[in-house]
C-alpha cells in the first residue's frame, strides 16, 4: 500500500474511533434494596449507595430521565459524554424510606419498575407511597410484570399457555399502573433479567423498551428490547470498579444480531463481528465463575466459548476493549439455561 493511502486509512480509522468513543452513551444502574438489613445478594448498603451517588457527582456525569435518555441515545442526538440513569426493581419500601430522600437531595431523577401484585405486601411500598413518589419531579414508574414470574417459555409449556400467561402478566400490570397512576411509562424490566426472543417480540409489539440485567452501556446500536443495566448490589457496585462502569461505552455491534439468550448447548458460543475500532489483540472476555476466557477470530468474527459447562440458570459472557481516555467498550451477553430450576 502506498504511504499516502496508508496514512489516509490510518487517519480514517483514528477519526472513526474518536467519534465512537466521544458519543454520548447511557449507563443505567440497577438497584433493588437500599438497606443494611435486607438480603445481601440484592441489597446496596446505605453507605455504598451514598458513595455511588457522590462518585457520579464528582465525575460530573449528568443523571437523566431513563425514558428520555434511552430515546436520545438510541437516536444519536444526545451530544457527547456519558449520561447516567438510575433504576429500582420491585418497589421495595427501602427505596421510599432511604433511597428517595438521598436522590432528592441531589435532584437526581430515577425510575421504579413495579411488579404490581407485590404492592402493599411486607417489605414493599404501598400504592399511596408509589403515588407520592410518582407526583415528584423526575420520578417515573414503569412495568415489572404483575407477578414477577419467569416469563421465558418453559420447556414443557405449550405455545398457547405461554401466550396467555405472558400476555396476562404484562397487560394486567400495565392496566393496574394505568388505573393507579394514569400514565405509566412505555418501559419494561424483565423479572430476573430473563428474556428470550419471543418475549422480546411481546415487548416490542407494545412499543415498550425492554431492560435486562446484563451489564454494559446503551448506544445507538443497542437493541431496544435488550437494553443493559449494571447491577449495583453490594457485590457488584463497589467503588473500586464503579468508575469503569460509569464511564463505559456501548460495544460497537448491533446487539439485535446477537444470539437468543436461551442456550441449546452448554457452554454456549457467542459470535459477533470484529469491527473498527475493536482490535482482537486488545479484547478481553470473561465468563461467570470462570474468569478470563479465550476466544477465536474466524472470517472476521469473534467466537467466544467458555471452557467448562455452567451449573447455574443464568450466567454471562462479558467482553471489554479500551475505548480511550481510560474508558472501555463493554459487551455483556446473558445466557439462560431453562433446564435449571427457577429461583
The reported pLDDT for the residue numbered 16 is 42
Does the structure show a pLDDT above 60 at 9? no
Domains and CATH numbers, the chain: 23-248 (3.20.20.370), 269-336 (2.60.40)
Looking at residue 22, what is its pLDDT? Answer: 53
Cell 467466544 belongs to 304
Q: For the segment 276-303, what is each residue's pLDDT rounded down to a tens digit? A: 999 999 999 999 999 999 999 999 999 9
pLDDT top residue among 253 and 3: 253
Decide if pLDDT at 324 tops 80.
yes
What's the pLDDT band for 3 if we cut at 50, 70, 90? very low
Please choose, from the candidates 229, 251, 244, 241, the residue with its C-alpha nearest in 3D space to the C-alpha of residue 111.
229
Residue pair 254/221 in contact (Cβ under 8 Å)? The answer is yes
- In a 13 Å sphere around the CA of 303, the CA atoms on its Cβ side amount to 9
d(CA 27, CA 101): 22
Rounded CA separation 53/225 (Å): 27
Mean pLDDT of the chain: 93
**Phi and psi at residue 18, in whole multiples of 5°?**
-65, -40
- Give the chain's radius of gyration (CA, Å): 20
Please check the confidence at residue 213 and state whether its pLDDT lies above 60: yes
Question: Per-residue pLDDT tens for 65-80?
Answer: 999 999 999 999 877 7
DSSP structural state of residue 153: P
> Would residue 300 be called left, alpha or beta, if left means φ above 0 and alpha means ψ between -120 and 50 degrees?
left
Q: pLDDT over 70 for what percent of the chain?
A: 93
Q: In whole angstroms, what is the distance from residue 31 CA to residue 88 CA?
A: 5
Q: Say yes or no to pLDDT of 5 above 60.
A: no
Amino acid at each position: 500500500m502506498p504511504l499516502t493511502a496508508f496514512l489516509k486509512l490510518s487517519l480514517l480509522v483514528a477519526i472513526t474511533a474518536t467519534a465512537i468513543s466521544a458519543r454520548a452513551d447511557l449507563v443505567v444502574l440497577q438497584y433493588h434494596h437500599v438497606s443494611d438489613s435486607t438480603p445481601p445478594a440484592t441489597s446496596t448498603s446505605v453507605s455504598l449507595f451514598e458513595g455511588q451517588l457522590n462518585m457520579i457527582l464528582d465525575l460530573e456525569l449528568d443523571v437523566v430521565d431513563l425514558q428520555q435518555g434511552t430515546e436520545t441515545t438510541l437516536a444519536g442526538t444526545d451530544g457527547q459524554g456519558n449520561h447516567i440513569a438510575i433504576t429500582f426493581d420491585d418497589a421495595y419500601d427501602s427505596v421510599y424510606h432511604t433511597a428517595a430522600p438521598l436522590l432528592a437531595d441531589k435532584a437526581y431523577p430515577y425510575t421504579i419498575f413495579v411488579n404490581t401484585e407485590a404492592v402493599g405486601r411486607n417489605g414493599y411500598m404501598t400504592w399511596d407511597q408509589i403515588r407520592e413518589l410518582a407526583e415528584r419531579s423526575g420520578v417515573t414508574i414503569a412495568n415489572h410484570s404483575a407477578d414477577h414470574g419467569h416469563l421465558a417459555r418453559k420447556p414443557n409449556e405449550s405455545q398457547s399457555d405461554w401466550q396467555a400467561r405472558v400476555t396476562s402478566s404484562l397487560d394486567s400490570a400495565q392496566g393496574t399502573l394505568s388505573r393507579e397512576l394514569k400514565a405509566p411509562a412505555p418501559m419494561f424490566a424483565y423479572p430476573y433479567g430473563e428474556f428470550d426472543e419471543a418475549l422480546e417480540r411481546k415487548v416490542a409489539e407494545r412499543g415498550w423498551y425492554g431492560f435486562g440485567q446484563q451489564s454494559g452501556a446503551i448506544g445507538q446500536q443497542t437493541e431496544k428490547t435488550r437494553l443493559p443495566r449494571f447491577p449495583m448490589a453490594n457485590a457488584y457496585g463497589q467503588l473500586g470498579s464503579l468508575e469503569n462502569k460509569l464511564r463505559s461505552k456501548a460495544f460497537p455491534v448491533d446487539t439485535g444480531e446477537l444470539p437468543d439468550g436461551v442456550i441449546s448447548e452448554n457452554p454456549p458460543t457467542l459470535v459477533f463481528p470484529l469491527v473498527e475500532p475493536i482490535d482482537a489483540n486488545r479484547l478481553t472476555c470473561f465468563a461467570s465463575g470462570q474468569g478470563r476466557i479465550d476466544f477465536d477470530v474466524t472470517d472476521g468474527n469473534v467466537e467466544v466459548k467458555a471452557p467448562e459447562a455452567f451449573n447455574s440458570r443464568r450466567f454471562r459472557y462479558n467482553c471489554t476493549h479500551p475505548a480511550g481516555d481510560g474508558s472501555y467498550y463493554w459487551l455483556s451477553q446473558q445466557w439462560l439455561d431453562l433446564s435449571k430450576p427457577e429461583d
